[in-house]
Structures are given as structure tokens and as C-alpha cells.
Amino acid sequence: MKAFIKKHEYNYIKKRLYDLNNAFRGCVDIDIIEATKSYKHRQILNIFTNLSEEEKELLDISKLSTPLHIDKYLAELNGYVYGMPNLTNAQISRLFKKEKKLKLPSLNAQDSKNVYLGWIDQSIRKLFVAYNMNGKLMGMACRITNCGSKNTHLCVLCNHVGDENEVAFVSPMCKTSNAGEGAYRSIGFDICLDSEKCNERISSIEKLEKFLKEVNNIK
């Protein structure tokens, strides 16, 4: 059986099973546990379309009865997870062709199953994001803003909360339809600076794709 679970879908499943794990540990009523399990199972199946019987069987959580079963289930499931294709240096350079002396991501950054590829060039304080949207490579270069605030920030992609050393305000330049002067505008949002950890948490690509479309002026 081929890999059929996208990385963000796997992260979504992990979150649902985290809820089930809490039910196992904190509830003594078997009926409530079984109802929780049934609900989580429906949530998992609802993120997929056109599953084969073999794939449905692999996703089935009805036999899970202890936290140890959850760990084994996720380990087996991970063998059927895939991320975005690895990129060549040439592809990345073309994607960010307007960046002078572009710092390329380390080889290790692509070793994992990524929802998106992200890396920081500390010398110019920029976070670069590359993503494969329906077979088309898209990217954004985000200037990292240090506000010196002690307030916490919420990553728009994975909902992780952290101080500005973990989650920072960034501002990518957006293309516009105006070809003349002032053809770019900026937006801003909070995002994890550690893209590897963000990739382990992100369970929905809706906001990632929304920002990439806005930055690249795609309707």
C-alpha cells in the first residue's frame, strides 16, 4: 500500500488521538470512552475521500484500548505519511530569484516529511517559506520584526503559543496587479521561527495557502 496520508493530516490524527488518550487516562466510564473513540474515528475518516478498504482498516481506531495502543498505531501509520517533494537548489533559487545572495536551506531541513519548507537567514532577518500547492511551487520571503515585547504570540499555521523567540511577527511583501510604482504591499502575521517544529504541529493548510495566495496575488 502506497503512502496516502499527507503530513498535516497525520498531525490532525495525532491531535484527535491525544484527546482519546486523555479519555483513557481520565475517564472510568466505558460508554463515554467508546463514544469518544467513535467520534474521533468519524473525525479522522472525514478528512479523507475515496479511501480503499485497506486504507480504512489501517485508520480504524476501534481496537485501541490503552495509551500504549495509540503509540503503536501512530508508529504504524507514520509509514504511510508523505510530505512535499524535496526541492533542488535550482528550484529554490528560481522561486526567490529577486533575493540577492539567497541563503539556501540546509540539507537536513528537507530530510523530514514537510508540510512546507521553511528556513531563516539570520544575516538579513528573513524567514523563507516554500510550498507545493497543487503541483505549483510557491514561496514567500518574510521579514522578521523584533518588537521587544514580552507578550506571547500565536502561530497562524499551527496555533502554537510562544514568546517572540519562538513565534514572531513577520511581514512578507505581496505582489499586486499594479505593474507601476508601489506594485508591492506588505501584510503581517505571527508564525513559528522553528519551521521543523511547526511542521510537526500544523494540522490544516487552509491559512498557509491563504497567505501564499495573497502574497503571490493569486485569486
What tens digit of pLDDT does each residue of 53-75 get? Answer: 999 999 999 999 888 899 999 99
Q: pLDDT tens, 147-170? A: 667 789 999 999 999 998 999 999
Average pLDDT for 102-122: 89
Domains, the chain, in order of start with CATH, read 5-82 (1.20.1280.250), 89-215 (no CATH)
* Cβ-contact 144, 36 below 8 angstroms: no
Judge whether residue 180 has pLDDT over 60.
no
From residue 130, how far is each of 75, 140, 182, 212 by CA, in Å? 27, 7, 25, 9
Tell me the average pLDDT across 123-137: 94
User: DSSP letters of 70-115?
Assistant: HHHHHHHHGGGEE-PPP--HHHHHHHTTTSTTPPPPPGGGGTS--S
The count of C-alpha atoms lying within 13 angstroms of the C-alpha of 148, restricted to the half-sphere facing its C-beta, is 0
Q: What is the pLDDT of residue 52?
A: 96
Q: Write out pLDDT tens, residues 138-149.
A: 999 999 987 667
Percentage of the chain with pLDDT > 90?
A: 74
Task: Look up residue 88 and give its three cell numbers.
Answer: 533542488
Query: How far apart, in whole angstroms, are the C-alpha atoms of residue 67 and residue 195?
Result: 28
Instruction: Please give the model's pTM, rounded to 2 decimal places.
Output: 0.91
